[in-house]
Structure 1
Amino acid sequence: MNSDWPYHLRQHRGTLLAFLGFVVMFAIYAANHSAGLSANVATTAANKGTLLAILAMAQTLVVLTSGIDLSVGMVMVLANCLASTIVVGTPLETALGVLGVLAAGAACGAVNGLIVVVGRLQPIVATIATGSVYYGIALALRRVPGGDVNASLADLATGQLPGGVPASLVLLFGLVLLVWMPLRRSALGRALYAVGSSEPAAYMSGVPIQRAKLLAYTMSGLLAAVAGLFLTFITYSGEASAANGSTYTLYSIAAVVLGGVSLFGGVGSAVGAIFGALMFRTIGDLLFVFNLEPLWQPLFQGVVLAAAVCLGSARLLRVKNRLDVYG
């Protein structure tokens, strides 16, 4: 039994490092915040972190297949604009609106998957194109910022539970339990890793490559819609912002890298990406707490991201056999 520990440590090294990095950074942030670690401070940080963490989960599913989804931010924006239009009214109307938003996100992801799988286009090219389409639809839905959302549901999702626990963290934990854990243990979930590790070998082994990829993109769109829905709960409005879509797409890639997920595919987990997202958000909060000039903040975040990418790729330079990466 003890002989399995080195393997498990190697397998989850990225997740553990992301967790430790987040804990250290958040402890520094809380210790230097003027209000300390109050319930309101924790809730605000949790809401911002959860938004990026959900999007990082979406990105992870595609990256595990050795692809990349550059449309996740635009799907989030589309879901935000749609939610600000239909997630209103009576409890029944609100529930139907939520289902409509989630269905729209899943449909966007499925379109991405079909283009990649059936059309055989490179993921980066396909998702850039579809992202532009999704942004156009969002702009048609919400030409100017505005709209509304069911206030009770928004307050429930972004507020505090008894004891001061941020509700957003419970939502994030629920997504891990209901989406990631069952997927990770399923045959198609294991197929995602197999495809990312070596698609030719997976094909020769009878792995359902096309179904695995289609699932990855569809679930990515669904989770991006969840992020857009949560953004609507935070802002109580919708906005077709290309800047937000592009920024969050890049941030989701940063979170994936910081969370130990290999951009070459086949290595990492959504849990690691979540801690990577929380860590990346905490970096921004630390810059605010220490009063770093706003103009320098993007530069500092870019340096951190570049360093993370270099560290994540460094061991590939020492690999003689690509299979060693997944051992």
Structure 2
Amino acid sequence: MLDDLAIRLRQNVGLATAVLLFCILYLLYNLAHPRGFSSAVLVQNGDEIFALAMLAMAQTVPVLMSGLDLSVGAVMTMVACFASYLLTGNPLPLEFFGLHSGLGTFPGGIAGILLGTAICVAIGTFAGFVNGCVVVYGRIQPIIATLATGAIYIGIALFLRPTPGGKIDEDLNWVMTNSLGDFASTVHVFDDGAAAWFAPFAWIPVPFVLLVLIALVVWVPFRRSVLGRAVYAIGSAEGAAYMSGLPIERAKIAAFTLGGFFAGCGGLFLAIQTSSGNADIPQAGAYTLNSIASVVIGGTSLLGGTGSAIGSIFGAMILRVISFFFRIFDIAPLLQPLFEGLILLAAVSIGALHVLRVKNTLELFR
């Protein structure tokens, strides 16, 4: 039993390190915060973590294949701009979609919000699918292909929102960016007071619940699927994966499509959180770079083949906790990239030492 636990720990040392580092940093943050360990602070933290955590998951899948997706921030921004039109809760003329005005309007209310949410996620997923097709059928390196497609997605976002604007439904903004208790009271769940069992969970932020659900419902099944195993095999040795008969092309397209889905979820939540759409190019670039940093800090190797989206989530949370410290101790914001860069360098260096040990071991048998 202990031997099996030790083996699993060695196999997931990156994830274990990220979890431990996050727990230490978040504990120190709450101890230093005047309102630490309160539900209000936890809710605020969850709102700020969710979008970056989604982009970290989006970045993880191509990195597992030893590639990089430089379009995740652009996909997020584009989806957020679409959401600022589709999630208003009011009917929208179908001329917006280029359709004939005689067809009527896009529905409002709950039906319109649900349909708009599905469309936004589908847009992000389709953008990822396009990335995968360009990489596979265009035979272009992922970093180059996604740099080009990312520029296109930013262009679409600028076309939709030349200036920041739009309005997200207020009830949607409230229920998605607060605690489960606020969610239940807003949608009138448990109005009869018969759910006493729910009270101990009412303080949990909705973004954290969504994060766990997406990880369990989407990432875990994908990782255990044939395509998921093929993604890991491609990152370890693409030639050997091909000779083994694994579906290389399908796995690559599926990986980028899944990345687009995660980035779309991040953009959807960002629009709900800010209650508007904004084609902010610097923000898109910053999210993309931070997603790469989150992946590395979370224990996923840039060489591919090892790591997990769960570790990347903790990597994203570590980066966000660092930014929280800057607000508490009133440190100049310009120093934040310096500290983030030092942490990223340390994380990369630890991974490089592991590769160096393996290389030296192989040289002994030459």
Coarse TM-score class (shorter-chain normalised): over 0.9
Tell me the secondary structure at the aligned position of residue 320 of structure 1. helix
Q: Distance in 1 between matches of 2:212 and 2:174?
A: 18
Q: Distance in 1 between matches of 2:61 and 2:171?
A: 31
Counterpart for residue 271 of structure 1: 310
Counterpart for residue 73 of structure 2: 73
| Farther-moved stretch of structure 1 (35-44 vs 223-232) | 35-44
Letter in 1 for 2:236: S
Q: Distance in 2 between matches of 1:312 and 1:290?
A: 31
Q: Distance in 1 between matches of 2:336 and 2:116?
A: 37
* 1:321 positional shift: 8.3
Counterpart for residue 312 of structure 1: 351
Counterpart for residue 333 of structure 2: 294
1:247 has 2:286 as partner: yes
1:111 has 2:127 as partner: no
Counterpart for residue 87 of structure 1: 87
Counterpart for residue 207 of structure 2: 168
Count of residue pairs brought into register by the alignment? 324
* 1:322 positional shift: 10
Q: Distance in 1 between matches of 2:78 and 2:361?
A: 39
* Larger CA Rg, structure 1 vs 2: 2
Counterpart for residue 28 of structure 1: 28
Q: Distance in 2 between matches of 1:284 and 1:312?
A: 24
Letter in 1 for 2:264: A
Q: Distance in 1 between matches of 2:114 and 2:138?
A: 35
Counterpart for residue 54 of structure 1: 54
* 1:36 positional shift: 2.1
Tell me the secondary structure at the aligned position of residue 16 of structure 1. helix
Moved segments of 4+, more than 6 Å: none
Percent identity reads 48
| Farther-moved stretch of structure 1 (179-188 vs 290-299) | 290-299
* 1:134 positional shift: 0.2
Q: Deviations over 1:191-220 (max 9, x none)?
A: 111111100000010111111110000010
Letter in 2 for 1:6: A
Q: Distance in 1 between matches of 2:170 and 2:120?
A: 17
Which of the residues 191, 210, 216 maps onto 1:177? 216
Which of the residues 143, 149, 156 maps onto 2:175? 156
Tell me the secondary structure at the aligned position of residue 164 of structure 1. coil
5+ long unaligned stretches in structure 2: 90-108, 182-201
Q: Distance in 1 between matches of 2:274 and 2:261?
A: 20
Counterpart for residue 39 of structure 1: 39
Letter in 2 for 1:165: I
Letter in 1 for 2:216: L
| Farther-moved stretch of structure 1 (200-209 vs 312-321) | 312-321
Q: Distance in 2 between matches of 1:94 and 1:290?
A: 40
Letter in 1 for 2:134: I
Q: Distance in 2 between matches of 1:216 and 1:123?
A: 12
What TM-score, normalized by structure 2, do the two folds share?
A: 0.86
What TM-score, normalized by structure 1, do the two folds share?
A: 0.96
Q: Deviations over 1:80-122 (max 9, x none)?
A: 0000011222111111111111111111101110011111101
Which of the residues 263, 281, 285 maps onto 1:224? 263
* 1:288 positional shift: 2.1
* 1:4 positional shift: 2.9
Q: Distance in 1 between matches of 2:12 and 2:173?
A: 34
5+ long unaligned stretches in structure 1: none
Q: Deviations over 1:224-261 (max 9, x none)?
A: 01000000111000000001100000000010000000
Q: Output the aligned Cα RMSD.
A: 1.6
Q: Distance in 1 between matches of 2:169 and 2:228?
A: 34
* 1:154 positional shift: 2.2
